[in-house]
């Protein structure tokens, strides 16, 4: 990962991903909202990923400059200067259309992931051939390529929103994103336990205003899942 970023002449800081196993009782103390704890140990991997993203955003909440959170399970063979130049060109165009843009992500592929085909109204689930209703997506597509979020989904549809994962997150307004995440968190003030918990990709997709997906950009990722019991890294 570091060699790849260096070869692309990108400035970066390495962030040690949160390994929740290293925190007693799965309790993590944040800088600004205090201790939070997840009661459901089955979701500890997703909780660690959420805390990693939140910590980076929290630390950069007053940073006026855009930045990217880049997870290191991306396929480096497809992440090159051409991809970056195309993505950045689209970012500039999107910002001109919506200066209040907060966060932008490409579509991702991989095991149990969805990909977006050429028609921006159709999202195909690779295993079951599921398609989103055209009316759901067409009203959300801007200039044929930018999908405006959040999208209000039914319980059934939520199963298929996995194509908007978090290996590459362009953060245009860290303060607004931080505020949105804090407002979403439902923490019991007496115990610090999260009353409800959603994975970070679900939060970005379903709860953050001025969040976008560029449906014409696909970022390939290695067909593996992070193992929270091992040393894992997140790069920002």
Query: What does the pLDDT look like over 196-207, one tens digit per residue?
Result: 888 888 888 888
* pLDDT greater at residue 123 or residue 97: 97
Locate all alpha helices (DSSP H) within 99-154, ordered by sequence. Answer: 134-138
Closest alpha carbon to 204 in 166, 159, 168, 174: 166
Out of 71-75, 85-89, 137-141, 173-177, which region has the weakest mean confidence (pLDDT)? Answer: 137-141
Q: Residue 149 — very low, low, confident or very high, per pLDDT cuts 50/70/90? A: confident
Instruction: Say whether pLDDT at 115 is over 80.
Output: no
Mean pLDDT of the region 79-92: 92
CA-to-CA distance for 171 and 101, rounded, in angstroms?
A: 9
pLDDT score of 40: 80
**Token pair of 88 as six digits:** 């950045």
**Token pair of 14 as six digits:** 């390495």
Instruction: Say whether pLDDT at 161 is over 60.
Output: no
State how far Cα 204 lies from the chain centre: 6
**Token pair of 193 as six digits:** 């336990």
State how far Cα 146 lies from the chain centre: 16
Instruction: Say whether pLDDT at 148 is over 50.
Output: yes
CA-to-CA distance for 109 and 73, rounded, in angstroms?
A: 12
Q: Please, are residues 124 and 131 in contact by the beta-carbon 8 Å criterion?
A: yes
Q: Residue 59 — very low, low, confident or very high, per pLDDT cuts 50/70/90? A: very high
User: Within a 10 A sphere around the Cβ of 119, how many other Cβ atoms?
Assistant: 15
**Token pair of 47 as six digits:** 């909780």
Q: Residue 125 — very low, low, confident or very high, per pLDDT cuts 50/70/90? A: very low
- pLDDT single digits (tens) 174-183: 999 999 999 9
Burial class (CB in 10 A: 0-12, 13-18, 19+), 120: buried
**Token pair of 7 as six digits:** 């070869």
Cα first-last separation, the chain? 11
Mean pLDDT of the region 23-35: 86
**Token pair of 56 as six digits:** 């980076």
CA 136, 139, 143, 148 dihedral sign is: negative
What are the structural domain ranges in the chain?
2-222
* pLDDT greater at residue 75 or residue 178: 178
pLDDT score of 144: 73
Helices 44-59 and 174-184, packing angle to 10 deg? 140
């Amino acid at each position: 990962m570091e060699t790849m970023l260096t070869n692309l002449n990108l400035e970066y800081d390495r962030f040690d991903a949160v390994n929740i196993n290293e925190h007693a009782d799965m309790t993590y103390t944040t800088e600004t909202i205090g201790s939070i704890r997840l009661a459901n140990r089955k979701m500890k991997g997703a909780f660690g990923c959420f805390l990693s993203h939140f910590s980076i955003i929290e630390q950069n909440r007053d940073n006026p400059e855009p930045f990217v959170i880049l997870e290191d399970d991306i396929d480096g063979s497809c992440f090159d200067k051409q991809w970056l130049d195309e993505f950045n060109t689209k970012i500039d165009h999107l910002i001109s259309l919506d200066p209040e843009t907060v966060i932008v992500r490409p579509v991702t592929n991989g095991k149990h992931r969805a990909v977006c085909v050429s028609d921006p109204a159709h999202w195909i689930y690779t295993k079951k051939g599921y398609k989103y209703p055209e009316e759901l997506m067409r009203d959300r597509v801007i200039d044929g390529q930018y999908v405006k979020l959040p999208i209000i989904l039914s319980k059934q549809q939520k199963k298929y929103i996995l194509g908007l994962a978090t290996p590459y997150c362009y953060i245009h307004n860290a303060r607004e994103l931080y505020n949105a995440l804090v407002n979403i968190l439902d923490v019991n003030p007496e115990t610090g336990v999260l009353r409800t918990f959603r994975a970070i990709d679900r939060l970005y997709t379903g709860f953050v205003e001025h969040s976008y997906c560029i449906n014409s950009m696909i970022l390939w990722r290695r067909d593996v899942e992070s193992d929270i019991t091992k040393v894992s890294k997140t790069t920002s």
